[in-house]
């Protein structure tokens, strides 16, 4: 079989995929759990903003259930929680999601993982999306999460959202696509 060369993703891939700003609201007002805002920022290797990236989030609801047909507990998921969001970044490389802090979900062996949000980033210059996770700084379950343990200890901070000191409902997460502070990405 002959392989054909890949093309990079951008710069216009996100047009029509992110025109609906409500795609950043993952939880209706009546959704159960701790409501949070998640401010994501995409940065290049020099620390400059990537103003035309697209971020997709996928997460469990506050009780650890995914709104997905393959989740064996789907029937018990919160119907006011969508669990999926997609936004493009603005001129500052930022976008803001409204969601709830996810509950713990079981791993492949049944042990509970730390609360996390699955992230895909699409941006110009990438041959395919990059995938990472957002964990919450200071969560006691982080120490026993099997996926977080795959990252070298000195690089785990790149997977942590930190609480905004001015707005305790807001968590901030920077995604560095390359460079000295590059975020840990997973090969999935």
Q: What's the CA gap between 67 and 70, in Å, rounded?
A: 9
Answer with the residue of higher pLDDT: 3 or 120. Answer: 120
- Read off the pTM: 0.89
Chain position carrying tokens 């941006």: 123
Dist CA 105 CA 116 (whole Å) = 9
Residue 186 lies in a domain: no
pLDDT classification of 10: cutoffs 50, 70, 90: low
Computed over every residue of the chain, the mean pLDDT equals 89
On whether residue 10 sits in a domain, the answer given is no
* pLDDT at 64 (0 to 100): 94
The pLDDT value given to residue 20? 62
Flag whether 159 is in a domain: yes
CA nearest to 104, candidates 152, 156, 66 = 66
Query: Is the pLDDT at 128 greater than 90, yes or no?
Result: no
Judge whether 6 lies within some domain.
Answer: no
Does residue 102 belong to any structural domain of this protein? Answer: yes
- Per-residue pLDDT of 36-75, as tens digits, reads 999 999 999 999 999 989 999 999 999 999 988 777 666 6
Q: Is 12 contained in some domain?
A: no
- Name the band, by pLDDT with cuts 50, 70 and 90, for residue 19: low
Decide if 148 is inside a domain.
yes
Structural domain count, the chain: 1
The verdict on residue 181 lying in a domain is no
Encode pLDDT of 134-157 as tens digits: 999 999 999 999 999 999 999 999
pLDDT digits (tens, 9 = 90+) for 80-116: 999 999 999 999 999 999 999 999 998 888 889 999 9
Residues written for the chain = 188
Which residues span the domain enclosing 150?
21-176
The CATH number of whichever domain residue 119 belongs to comes to: 2.60.130.10
Tokens 């997609």 sit on residue: 86
* Calpha distance 17→75 (Å, rounded): 29
């Amino acid at each position: 079989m002959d392989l054909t060369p890949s093309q990079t993703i951008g710069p216009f891939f996100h047009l029509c995929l992110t025109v609906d700003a409500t795609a950043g609201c993952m939880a209706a007002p009546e959704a159960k759990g701790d409501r949070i805002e998640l401010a994501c920022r995409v940065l290049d290797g020099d620390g400059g903003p990537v103003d035309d990236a697209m971020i997709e989030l996928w997460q469990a609801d506050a009780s650890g259930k995914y709104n997905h047909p393959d989740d064996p507990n789907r029937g018990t998921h919160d119907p006011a929680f969508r669990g999926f969001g997609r936004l493009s970044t603005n001129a500052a490389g930022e976008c803001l999601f409204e969601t709830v802090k996810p509950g713990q979900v079981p791993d492949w062996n049944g042990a509970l993982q730390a609360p996390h949000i699955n992230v895909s980033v699409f941006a110009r210059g990438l041959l395919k999306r990059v995938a990472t996770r957002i964990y919450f700084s200071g969560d006691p379950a982080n120490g026993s999460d099997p996926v977080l343990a795959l990252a070298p200890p000195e690089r785990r901070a790149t997977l942590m959202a930190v609480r905004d000191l001015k707005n305790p409902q807001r968590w901030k997460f920077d995604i560095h696509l390359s460079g000295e502070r590059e975020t840990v990405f997973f090969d999935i």
